[in-house]
Amino acid sequence: MNKLLLTLLALLTAGGASAQHHQHGHHHGSDSTAGSANAYMHQSSTEQLVQRFEGPERDAYQQPEKVLDLLGSIEGKTIMDIGAGSGYFSVKLAARGAHVIAADVSEELQAYLRERIAKDRLQDIELRLIPYDSPALKDAEVDLVFLANTYHHIEDRAAYFRQVRQGTKPGGELVIVDFFKADLPVGPPVDHKVALDTVITELKEAGYTSFQVDVDRLPYQYIVRAR
């Protein structure tokens, strides 16, 4: 499936999702999507999740270097990686000179990442176990908040990202990488994905006013940069 068709599919599906979103109300739609996505992920063991997060199949579609290049220079910046999981992006962000707060709701994945940090003697990565309903950020604590394939797991997203915004320094930004809401060979089922226009709507509710959207860099995912 070529890029143009994927983008058209995503936009068409986004329109339908947006109509349903407004019809049923923001909080209900957000919570039910997140709940089903979390239940879907929890069908897998921690070992299976790590294999999925770190396998060559992910490298092929995630193309992490393209994502990191989009961020520009991050040396010396403090970045919270929400939904850090096995540390897939946390490790790469730290390798480019950032101080990374690898945040996740899973004690098991945090334990795995702690062992990985010790084994590989990784620097500038701190762990933070967070609740489902909060990023657990101090006011203006970080320069950038980063989420890859995690947005659709969060409930009551407008409220959640108001907290994210409060925890980000003035001039800092939020970066979201997630799957087009379309039938794709990778990612969760379509009904677990969040359409691009829904993301923008929810972030506006959270207080974000400036957006840069990239739908061409990755084959199956959009990237949203918000301030």
pLDDT one-digit tens code per residue, 177-211: 999 999 999 999 999 999 999 999 999 999 999 99
The 8-class DSSP code of residue 137 comes to: P
**pTM for this entry:** 0.80
The domain that holds 136 is classified in CATH as 3.40.50.150
Whether 21 and 201 have beta carbons less than 8 Å apart is answered as yes
Long-range contacts of 127-130 (CB under 8 A, 24+ apart): 127/101, 127/102, 127/103, 128/80, 128/101, 128/102, 128/103, 128/104, 129/103, 129/104, 129/105, 130/82, 130/103, 130/104, 130/105
Whether 93 and 126 have beta carbons less than 8 Å apart is answered as no
* Start-end of H helices in the chain: 3-24, 26-41, 46-54, 56-62, 64-71, 88-95, 107-120, 157-166, 196-205
3-state DSSP assignment of residue 185: coil
Weakest-pLDDT range from 25-39, 41-55, 100-114, 144-158: 25-39
> 136 CB contacts (<8 Å, ≥6 apart)?
103, 128, 130
3-state DSSP assignment of residue 101: strand
Task: Please check the confidence at residue 51 and state whether its pLDDT lies above 90.
Answer: no
Please, what is the angle between helix 3-24 and helix 26-41, to 10°?
120
Q: Tell me: the pLDDT tens digits for 53-76?
A: 898 899 999 999 999 999 999 999
The token duo for 136 is 């657990």
Mean pLDDT of the chain: 86
Task: Please check the confidence at residue 144 and state whether its pLDDT lies above 70.
Answer: yes
The 8-class DSSP code of residue 76 comes to: T
What's the total number of domains in the chain?
1
Instruction: Tell me which residue range forms the domain holding 54.
Output: 3-226
